[in-house]
Amino acid sequence: MLDKLRAFFIDKQFVSKRDFLKSLSIFKGLSNRELGYLLQMFHSRTYHEGETLFLEGDIGRALFIVESGRIELTKNGPGGTAQKLADLGPGSFFGEMALLEHLPRSANAVARERSVLLLLYRSKLEDILHHHPRVGVAIMTHLARLLSARLRKASENMVTFGAEPRAQAPA
């Protein structure tokens, strides 16, 4: 009987969105209650095919999470030609640097099909850090790990021009 009452009063859409957040690595370790609180901090927005989310050079204000659809990230190359960086689907997130700094975007983002995204604005993250520090610290810790991994990968891929090959030590 209690299960039937609970099922009647529980918002299935809310539970579905909370479970979606729970599946994302950025929110790993948060309780259902914390995820429910966090969900209230997000703004949901639908973008139509071909609609621009932001342009390289725009000031970043939010983290984007793809709930459904496809988003293409590009960077302006020589002569203004767009160079594809990524094609992102459900569960992907981008724009995380906007949560950390108030600087221009480093890429363009365009919806490649009808897409529903969750946006977390920097001002909301600041509220989370102030009122629910455990949730805010969990998010910031994950962002730090993500950016560290990206920096490590970029360092490994870096090519040093003009450098002499290192001598091999005898075996």
Task: State pLDDT tens for residues 100-126.
Answer: 888 899 999 999 999 999 999 999 999
Q: Is the pLDDT of residue 161 over 50?
A: no
pLDDT at 54 over 80: yes
- Spatial separation of the C-alpha atoms in residues 21 and 32, rounded to whole Å: 10
Identify the pLDDT of residue 7. Answer: 55
Q: What is the chain's mean pLDDT, rounded?
A: 87
pLDDT band at 11 (very low <50, low <70, confident <90, very high): confident
**DSSP-based three-state secondary structure for 163:** coil
CB-based burial of residue 151 (10 Å sphere; 0-12 exposed, 13-18 middle, 19+ buried)? exposed
Which whole number is the average pLDDT over 11-28? 90
Instruction: Extract the tokens encoding 85.
Output: 């960086």
**CATH homologous superfamily for the domain 2-154:** Jelly Rolls (2.60.120.10)
